[in-house]
Amino acid sequence: EDGSHLWLRLPANAHAEISAPRQSPTLNIAVEELQQAWKGAPVRLVIQKDKQLQAEGFRIRHEDNKITLTSPTETGLLYAAYHLLRMQETGQNVVEAQTTENPAYNLRILNHWDNMDRTVERGYAGQSLWNWEELPNTLSDRYKEYARANASIGINGTVLNNVNASPKILSAEYLQKVKALADIFRPYGLRVYLSVNFASPMALDSLSTADPLDKEVIRWWKNKVKEIYRIIPDFGGFLVKANSEGQPGPCDFGRTHAEGANMLADALKPYKGIVMWRAFVYSPSDADRAKQAYLEFEPLDGQFRNNVIVQVKNGPIDFQPREPYSPLFGAMQHTPLMAEFQVTQEYLGHSNHLAYLAPMWKEFFEFVAPASLKAVAGVANIGTDANWCGHTFAQANWYAFGRLAWQPSLSSGNIADEWLKQTFGSQPSDINAQLKKMMLDSHEAVVNYMMPLGLHHIFAWGHHYGPEPWCSIPGARPDWLPSYYHRADKQGIGFDRSSKGSNAVAQYPETLAKQYDNIDTCPEEYLLWFHHVPWSHRMKSGRSLWDELCHHYDNGVRQVRDFQKIWDAAEKYIDAERFHEVQSKLKIQARDAVWWKDACLLYFQEFSGMPIPYEIERPIHELKDLQKVHLPISNYECPTKELLNKNR
């Protein structure tokens, strides 16, 4: 029980009676899955157009003791097969089943931040799954298992490589490797996309420029795209991080993001390929970082080709434990937008902390109407670890991302329930209810012990795991330092983004802008995001801001302790291996929660000068000891890491 089976612990040898209209790689998979695991009435697969069904939609009908799965496409039937099995495994009544399902989005895409050397940027589950050195000749079994897992939850696209893209991925040699993966994924309805480096023509073929309006450059991309489609006819398209964190882009040549994206879009258009152009841009300018993507992209609204989708992170800064939604959503009425979520827990305790993220993504959908988006993407948390995601419960985030990409109206609770039942089998209902509660509370717990009340980006430099609100590094970019975000001083704490400050509030629709602008109406969970608040400010609870902050940190710690109790009480019902793995991770999480609480409270206390309320647990660390904790700096985000390591 090493967790390698994910949520797909289907029974074997059920010998169900299944019929399909024809043989094909995709239909054969659907038939085999059902033959092995389906325990009910005979199942008939039917390919049929139907006004109510989109291409990948399907219907499940039970009549005269026969089940009919209908879809206009083979992939739709494969999804129907997995849906039927999910109903069986979660104990839903299949006899009365009359289900019609259509995906909310045609594009449901994982973004792997995988490098060619098999390291994974912000990956906490081992190495990259893609063994580039052995490809295309040696094909790991895991490639197929990966595709199957994605198909079982409706994910239909995968960007194989890091957005900080190596030009090498577009070399003839690597395209053969990509093709090998695409061939394995195809029967599962999973299309391959690539992140591309905007300066690839310069890096690969020594062109003197990558200017998107240059004829040679345009020709280069056209030829490259042609080459790709010759070997991968259903290639999906490109994902681009341009002029962001040191990546090259059209602005290097005096062109706009739209001009850059359109040049690639034109090359892909004849093959129905798309460009996902990221809006994650910011520079160490005077403008509040939270405002920058909007300032740069909103004026370009309407200028993008129709096969470009602008991919926007859910929040205006960067995948923090809690952010308000990015105001770009809703601001670009004439441009298709897609939301980028981060499944990997870069800012939520890596693969050590249990943090079920569906509630966070649902919170986003409360503000951004699902129908206003063209697609969704999730930064994958998958690697070579036996359990794929580093933490058994991190599998739930891969699962939830797929389910929500299929249908954002599903509830976090139902998704947790489905996942629990399929992952651990059926439990007594009280145990199941407790585990579900633990999952549903877990994101808020992380927010509480890391960054409550709208605090953000007070992570340690580089690794984004532990707290370092005091971090100050000579010569570092100010917007990469925690003090840029928390702004603690003797008067108070928080970033003033109100109309008296950076006025980021003005980027939101009027009613929200008004609400956020006023310290008395701003929701408390965003208070320190939008306001610099005096320590003695009265909160809704009647406490001062300082006391409230202390209570949030303390609550976070207590919530994790509760998770430990819930988990230990489930021991009898969980296999030993996964039980112990999660138990020991919860111990780490409990220790980390105390570390966060002590670090932040002891540090901020130097400004507030107020006592930690006596009813809450006392710090067990000295601030000066915590300030000595340094994990190794090991990522690209810190170009001056040698200098920094020396400075420490």
Question: If DSSP codes are grouped into helix, strand and coil, which group holds residue 552?
Answer: helix
Q: How many residues bind ligand BDP (CB under 6 A)?
A: 11
Applying CB under 6 A, which of residues 132, 174, 319, 604 lies at the interface with ligand BDP? 319
Give min distance, CB of 154 to ligand BDP, in A. 24
Give min distance, CB of 164 to ligand BDP, in A. 5
| Sign of the torsion formed by the C-alpha atoms of 199, 201, 207 and 213 | negative
Identify which of residues 318 and 417 has a Cβ nearer to ligand BDP in the complex: 318
| Catalytic residue check, 17 | no
185 binds ligand BDP (CB under 6 A): no
Q: Considering only CA atoms, which of 218, 229, 219, 226 is closest in space to residue 262?
A: 218
Q: Which of 346, 496, 517, 592 is catalytic?
A: 346
By the 8 A CB rule, do 397 and 385 touch?
Answer: no
Applying CB under 6 A, which of residues 59, 83, 112, 122 lies at the interface with ligand BDP? 122
Applying CB under 6 A, which of residues 120, 125, 163, 339 lies at the interface with ligand BDP? 163
Identify which of residues 288 and 340 has a Cβ nearer to ligand BDP in the complex: 340
Helices (H), 38-98: 74-89
105 half-sphere exposure, CB direction, 13 A CA radius: 30
Applying CB under 6 A, which of residues 121, 211, 418, 592 lies at the interface with ligand BDP? 121
Identify which of residues 75 and 128 has a Cβ nearer to ligand BDP in the complex: 128
DSSP letters, 526-544, are GHHHH--EETTPBPTTSSB
Place of tokens 């992952």: 423
Question: What residues pair up with 313 in beta bridges, in sequence order?
Answer: 340
Q: Considering only CA atoms, which of 493, 500, 535 is closest in space to residue 516?
A: 500
637 binds ligand BDP (CB under 6 A): yes
Query: Pattern of binders to ligand BDP over 335-354, x per CB under 6 A?
Result: -----------x--------
| Catalytic residue check, 318 | yes
Sequence-ordered list of residues with C-beta below 8 angstroms from that of 512, at least 6 positions apart, any chain: 505
479 binds ligand BDP (CB under 6 A): no
Give the span between the Cα atoms of 505 and 496, in whole angstroms. Answer: 10
Question: Which H or E run includes 165?
Answer: none
Sequence-ordered list of residues with C-beta below 8 angstroms from that of 259, at least 6 positions apart, any chain: 212, 213, 250
Give the strand pairing for 107-111 and 98-101. Answer: unpaired
Using only C-alpha atoms, what is the Rg of the chain? 25
Give the span between the Cα atoms of 552 and 451, in whole angstroms. Answer: 9
Give min distance, CB of 320 to ligand BDP, in A. 9
State which of positions 256-295 bind ligand BDP (CB under 6 A).
280
Q: CA-CA-CA-CA torsion for 54, 45, 59, 89, nearest 10 degrees? A: -120
Give min distance, CB of 446 to ligand BDP, in A. 16
Identify which of residues 120 and 415 has a Cβ nearer to ligand BDP in the complex: 120
Identify which of residues 145 and 245 has a Cβ nearer to ligand BDP in the complex: 245
| Catalytic residue check, 133 | no
Give min distance, CB of 113 to ligand BDP, in A. 7
Give min distance, CB of 80 to ligand BDP, in A. 35
Residue, CB closest to ligand BDP: 318
| Sign of the torsion formed by the C-alpha atoms of 238, 115, 419 and 78 | positive
318 binds ligand BDP (CB under 6 A): yes
What region, left, alpha or beta, does residue 243 occupy, with left being phi > 0 and alpha being psi -120 to 50 degrees? left
381 binds ligand BDP (CB under 6 A): no
Question: If DSSP codes are grouped into helix, strand and coil, which group holds residue 387?
Answer: coil
State which of positions 207-236 bind ligand BDP (CB under 6 A).
none
State which of positions 13-72 bind ligand BDP (CB under 6 A).
none
Q: Which of 89, 211, 266, 318 is catalytic?
A: 318
Identify which of residues 485 and 535 has a Cβ nearer to ligand BDP in the complex: 485
468 binds ligand BDP (CB under 6 A): no
Identify which of residues 569 and 631 has a Cβ nearer to ligand BDP in the complex: 631
Identify which of residues 479 and 637 has a Cβ nearer to ligand BDP in the complex: 637
Give min distance, CB of 292 to ligand BDP, in A. 14
By the 8 A CB rule, do 304 and 310 touch?
Answer: yes
Tokens describing residue 248: 């090259």
Give min distance, CB of 280 to ligand BDP, in A. 5
By the 8 A CB rule, do 151 and 189 touch?
Answer: yes
How many C-beta neighbours within 10 Å does residue 409 have?
9
Identify which of residues 301 and 637 has a Cβ nearer to ligand BDP in the complex: 637
Q: Which of 183, 205, 245, 479 is catalytic?
A: 245
Applying CB under 6 A, which of residues 71, 88, 164, 555 lies at the interface with ligand BDP? 164
- Residue 527 backbone phi and psi in degrees, to 5: -55, -50
Q: Considering only CA atoms, which of 322, 341, 327, 332 is closest in space to residue 291?
A: 327
Give min distance, CB of 278 to ligand BDP, in A. 7
Q: Which residues are catalytic?
A: 245, 318, 346
Site of interaction with ligand BDP (CB under 6 A): 121-122, 163-164, 241, 245, 280, 318-319, 346, 637
